[in-house]
Amino acid sequence: MAGITQEKLLYLKVTKGRMIHKKGETVTHDFGGYEGSILAIREKEGEFEGKKTVAIEVKMKDTKSDEIAIVQFTKKAGFALGFFSRIEKADLTKPLTIGVLPSDQNEKMSFCYLKQNNETIKSDKDFPKYTTMKISGEDVQDWAAPFARFDAIIKSINEKIASEKPQSEAITDDAPPVPVGDSDLPF
């Protein structure tokens, strides 16, 4: 089974309240959101300035043009909390929009919204949040509870999609990763 080549993929990165497509350092498109059907979700490890980073990649297919896109966002960020607290309420057999909104208070923050059938999907109010604790006098965030839920949701969604769609639509590793930086403020 051959993977999808880079030329056929549109890579979109959530950063600073925007969803952008870049070639090198030049932003070629700026999206408020992307509409399509979800084909797969995965974690992708990377490195930025010598530190390990983890991104979430959502592979989508535009239902009008058949374009394939990878929407990428930082796992340890408010956007990921917004995405995962809503995605379980979506009907994955139908297209949806993953949208991004900027913060009024911090330019590095991005907020997620999901829309389906022109209706905004509300977040799960009981979704686990990170906790903050003091260690050696410094505030440290514990993301264990949200990460465990993210992982369970990714597994559940991928299993559901795999039972309904051809395996060739999975995200493959033969496409190069989009670098993950600190441009979306992690919490």
- Domain assignment present for residue 16? The answer is yes
- Domain assignment present for residue 176? The answer is no
Q: With contact defined as beta carbons under 8 Å apart, do 87 and 3 qualify?
A: no
- Domain assignment present for residue 172? The answer is no
- Domain assignment present for residue 187? The answer is no
Q: With contact defined as beta carbons under 8 Å apart, do 159 and 116 qualify?
A: no
Total tally of structural domains belonging to the chain: 1
d(CA 86, CA 104): 22
pLDDT band at 32 (very low <50, low <70, confident <90, very high): confident
CA 28 to chain centre: 20
Which phi and psi (to 5°) does residue 164 adopt? -110, -20
94-127 pLDDT, tens digit each:
999 999 998 888 888 899 999 999 999 999 999 9
Q: Which two tokens stand for residue 181?
A: 């930086």
**Phi-psi sector, 154: left (phi>0), alpha (psi -120 to 50), beta:** alpha
Q: What's the pLDDT score for residue 25?
A: 67
d(CA 115, CA 119): 5
- Domain assignment present for residue 173? The answer is no
Query: What SS3 class is residue 128?
Result: coil
pTM above 0.85, yes or no: no
| Domain range enclosing 73 | 8-166
- Domain assignment present for residue 2? The answer is no
- Domain assignment present for residue 183? The answer is no
Is the predicted pLDDT of residue 176 greater than 70, yes or no?
Answer: no
Q: What's the pLDDT score for residue 2?
A: 38
d(CA 80, CA 166): 26
CA dihedral 63, 64, 69, 73 (to 10 degrees): -70
Count of CB atoms situated within 10 Å of the CB of 112: 23
Is the predicted pLDDT of residue 70 greater than 60, yes or no?
Answer: yes
pLDDT band at 167 (very low <50, low <70, confident <90, very high): low
Specify the DSSP class assigned to residue 89: T
Query: Which residues have C-beta within 8 Å of that of residue 161, sequence separation ≥ 6?
Result: 38, 39, 40, 92, 169
- Which one is predicted more confidently, 28 or 18? 18
Q: How far apart are the first and last CA of the chain?
A: 39
- Domain assignment present for residue 178? The answer is no
Nearest to 40 by CA among 176, 164, 187, 184: 164
Is the predicted pLDDT of residue 185 greater than 90, yes or no?
Answer: no
